[in-house]
Amino acid sequence: MSVCQASENVHDLFDKVCVIYKGRMAYYGPASLAREYFIDMGYQPANRQTTPDFLVAVTDPNARMAREGYENRVPRTPDEFVEHYRQ
């Protein structure tokens, strides 16, 4: 199922989530671990940003925010996201 602009409560109902960035799979796995996966990658959710909104934001160059100290180390292109996921 594809869900756009899901609430946190709806997100919590899913076992797994797939994040697609320009047709490439940036993440597929437990929904409960997706937020932390991208935080560990070096991205920072905006203040009070829901998990679904954060997962969409990391694939938008105009919306994503790198954590302090990660600005030059985070994946930026779809291919870089795929490579990070494969590792």
pLDDT score of 72 more than 80: yes
| Model confidence pLDDT, tens digit, residues 8-18 | 888 889 999 99
Write down how long the chain is. Answer: 87
> CB within 8 A of 10, min separation 6: which ones?
3, 52
5: pLDDT strictly greater than 80: no
What ranges do the domains of the chain cover? 8-86
Q: What's the predicted TM-score (pTM) here?
A: 0.91
**Single-letter amino acid code for the residue at 76:** R
pLDDT for 18-44, tens place per residue? 999 999 999 999 999 999 999 999 999
d(CA 84, CA 26): 8
Helix or strand holding residue 58 (H, E)? none
